[in-house]
A and B are shown apart, each in its own frame.
Chain A
Amino acid sequence: MKTILTIIFRLTVSCLLAGAVMGAAFVMTSKAKKHNEHVKEQKVMLNLLGYSEKNPAPASLGMHALYRYIVTEGEALSMGYLVPLADEGRGGFAFVAIDLDGNFLARHPVTIAEEEAREADAREQAILSVLGPGRTIRYADQTIIVTDGEKRMAYLLPGKFPGFKTFIKVMMAVDPAYGILGLEIMEHEEDPGLGGEIVQDYFKNQFKGKAFDTIRKLDVVKTPLPGDYLQALEAGKRGGLGAEEVAKIQEQYKDNDIYALTGATISSRSVTSGVKGMVRKFSYRIAILDRVLAEQHIAVPF
């Protein structure tokens, strides 16, 4: 009996010690983790828009996050967008509810600071508190609308879709006409040497410059990548081709389908169809949201 008690006591003490060590590590790292993720995301976004350290973004550049939620009330579903407000220098946010047919339902002012709005939990709490009881919300996705002064420059769409092995997480920049400005693979677990090549310039840059109409019909072909196109796609790497030449070649291939990676047709196809789906859905939703915002005279900074 005494041994059992000693064992229990010692196990408890070691568990408590272990818990203390892990808890301390968690507390110390969680802030840095969030900060680093945010910095990395910002960097990727600016890169996608064509800015770098040599070519910094102008101060007038504004990035406005738009969060989409699915609202459930009993059996009924509706969409809700958390939009930043521009009016009279007060800022703040509003939660705009739209039904499934695209009609305006309601508008709730949400009081939340901009930094807090980046935290998923705090955001959710703030929205729930203005919606009233009986409604639940489910986070769907986020869009970042990039403006330069009054003008809309681009949309940044983070997305996630199934790849060959597990999910592929991407960030995509599209222009106001929904043509693709750039694609960046954020996370993936495809095989190195095969599907893992989706992160290479010669694959992901193929999406650059595709117009909306091309994207709708975009497919994957298994023919080898033409040499001049390859050079143009990898121009950023070795600095071989001049900007003019690259533009010329890009123009020549801009209506072509995506050339599949050797030995990784499935990965290529999943990225292509994922990108297609993202652009198609986004263009549909932003059109509805813009119409509603205009009809209801909701002033937004984008």
Chain B
Amino acid sequence: MKNPAMFRKLLLSLVALLLLPVLAQAEGLVAGQSFGKANEIVVTFAAAMDAAKVTNPANYVVYEEQDPDIRLPVTNVALAADGKTAILTFAEPLNSTQAHVVSIANLTQAGKAAESFRVMKSYLGYLLSILVSALLINNFVFTKYLGLCVFFGTSKRKDTAKGMGLTFTIVMVVSAIMSWFFYQFVMKPYGLNFLQIVIFIGLVSLTVQAVDTILRKVNPALFNAFGVYLVLVIANCVIIAVPLILADNEYNFFESFMLALGAGGGFLLALYLMSSVRERMELAKIPPTFKGVPIAFIVAGQFALAFLGFSGLNIF
């Protein structure tokens, strides 16, 4: 990156955007909640609680957010010695991918009532898992086989690979966010889903044109370095696949952002890895029949095989 100050700013705003959902959590009698072991929910109270009130399983109503009518029976509630941490044990293992709603009846302390609250895996973790999934597990190049024309075209040199990857990531994020707005606020309310392809490709062209114009005026040096790749972005299927996927999955704003970032980053990663190998391969003795594109395909196949090892990866 030629402009470190700008890059740092970009990174900072990114972090701020990520932290937003975490900071927005409300304060109350219940200070924290999380999934414990397979069939446990751990509730942390803001103050020490009365054991007699807390440990009565009948006071708890717990259900999965999607299925409010199916109560999950609490078999036992254990309160830790400090009176702040309660462990709810359930008869059957919980499905921790779903958000659970817990409401506690008859529990007041110092004028504050414990209302119902949601227990789910950390949202930040979920967002990061979308990012990691798009980056590694479902890498668009190596496991979804998209964007291959541009991939093979621009992975001959490391410099080209970096330039293409970065340009692509920026356009990807911007166009995905615009597509998300369009999908949520125009296409869905007016039943225009069948126009998906036209609208998304139109937005991508618009983004490319806008980035082109802005870059040309604001930072000509950067434009000279990256301008050539802008045209190629449009011929990359990933750029149109991402809006289609996020429309299919009904992702919200943050999730869409993460998916786009992961898709762009994954493409950058794939390009960089591939170009590193291809630079070396120029020195290798390759049979004439395999020279050029065929050997590149074989290498990409090996990368794909290696990336298969990421499947099932579950960090968060």
Q: Do chains A and B touch in the complex (CB under 8 A)?
A: yes
Residues of A in contact with B (beta carbons under 8 Å apart): 18, 22, 26, 70, 77, 79, 98, 100, 102, 162, 164-166, 266, 273, 277, 281, 284-285, 288
Is residue B10 within 8 Å, beta carbon to beta carbon, of the partner chain? no
Closest 10 pairs between A and B when the two form their complex, measured CB to CB: A77-B68, A26-B194, A79-B69, A100-B69, A100-B68, A266-B312, A284-B70, A281-B70, A281-B67, A22-B195
B interface residues, how many (CB within 8 angstroms): 16
Asked if residues A98 and B95 are in contact (CB atoms below 8 Å), the reply is no
Cα distance, A277 to B249, chains bound together (Å)? 21
- Which residues of chain B come closer than 8 Å to A100, judged between CB atoms? 63, 68-69, 71
- A–B pairs, 18, beta carbons within 8 Å: A18-B198, A22-B194, A22-B195, A26-B194, A70-B68, A77-B68, A79-B69, A98-B69, A100-B63, A100-B69, A100-B71, A102-B69, A162-B97, A166-B249, A266-B311, A273-B95, A277-B95, A284-B70
Q: Which of B61-110 contact A (CB under 8 A)?
A: 63, 67-71, 95, 97
| CB-based nearest A residue for B193 | A26
CB distance from A72 to the nearest CB of B (A): 10
- Which residues of chain B come closer than 8 Å to A273, judged between CB atoms? 95
- Which residues of chain B come closer than 8 Å to A166, judged between CB atoms? 248-249
Q: Beyond A98-B69, A164-B311, A165-B138: 12 further Cβ-contacts under 8 Å?
A: A22-B198, A26-B194, A79-B68, A100-B68, A166-B248, A166-B249, A266-B312, A281-B70, A284-B70, A285-B69, A285-B70, A288-B69
- Which residues of chain A come closer than 8 Å to B97, judged between CB atoms? 162
Residues of B in contact with A (beta carbons under 8 Å apart): 63, 67-71, 95, 97, 138, 194-195, 198, 248-249, 311-312
Cα distance, A18 to B194, chains bound together (Å)? 13
CB distance from A266 to the nearest CB of B (A): 6
CB distance from A35 to the nearest CB of B (A): 17
Cα distance, A23 to B303, chains bound together (Å)? 43
| CB-based nearest B residue for A102 | B69
CB distance from B199 to the nearest CB of A (A): 11
